[in-house]
Amino acid sequence: MKRISIIALLLVGLFTQNNAQTADEIINSYFETIGGKAKLEAVNGTKMKAKMNQGGMEIPIEVINFKDGRQMISFTLQGKTIKEEVFDGEVLWGTNFLTQKPEKSTEEETENFKKNIDFPDPFLNYKEKGYEVELIGKEEFETVECYKIKLTKNPIVIDGEEVKVFEYHFFDTESFVIMGSEAEITSGSMKGKISITKLSDYQEVEGIYFPFSITSGIKDLGEQTL
């Protein structure tokens, strides 16, 4: 009887192992759900328009991204258009809020940006970019059971020291769409805090499903929905 029990346990273990989802299987299912990897690879650029409510004031926002890494985030505040995180292919720019003029980011900030360009999706061809993925397990995110996958990106340099960069993404165990992500902030006044992004209301645009509701902020400190 003891031998039969051991064999039974081994068979159960093999069955569970063979039917367990791997990180790559989950990612591939995610791509299939939102339209297919081939369609994502064919995207050359995207434009997103949204509105953010800040203290009762509605602020229009526009985000433009291109396959080669060029991007721009602009928003209109009190009649003035402010551009942030503008990458022209060589240099990362922002706006000086005192002078209202374009201002170059530091060389370190520009190089860090170039190391982790994620258009149109951080998981698309992640191996070619030098990224790694790891399935952590299952965890609830916004009351939904999800697969939690750790995405380790290319290390960046902050104040001359190399810093590891990683994010946790939460994939719905039923639909496989990404429900959101969390990442540790590596610099600035919020260093060490956890940034959180929540995604919902996926809608189809030219054969690809994108989240039409994006909530972001600092965990336990406040969030903003676009």
Residue 223: predicted pLDDT:
75
Q: Which residue has the tokens 């340099």?
A: 157
Do 194 and 223 touch, CB atoms closer than 8 A?
Answer: no
Q: What dihedral angle (degrees, nearest 10) is formed by the CA atoms of 91, 38, 27, 113?
A: 0
Average pLDDT over residues 139-149: 97
For residue 198, what are the contacts with CB-CB under 8 A and spacing of at least 6? 142, 179, 180, 214, 215, 216, 223
Q: In whole angstroms, what is the distance from residue 162 CA to residue 157 CA?
A: 4
Number of residues that this document lists for the chain: 226
| pTM of the entire predicted model | 0.85
What's the first-to-final CA gap in the chain, in angstroms? 62
Average pLDDT over residues 12-31: 71
Residue 65: predicted pLDDT:
96
For the cut 50, the answer to whether the pLDDT of residue 150 exceeds it is yes
Residue 20: predicted pLDDT:
59
Q: In this predicted model, what pLDDT tens digit does every residue of 34-71 receive, in sequence order? A: 999 999 999 999 999 998 877 778 889 999 999 999 99
Q: In this predicted model, what pLDDT tens digit does every residue of 200-218 receive, in sequence order? A: 999 999 999 999 999 999 9
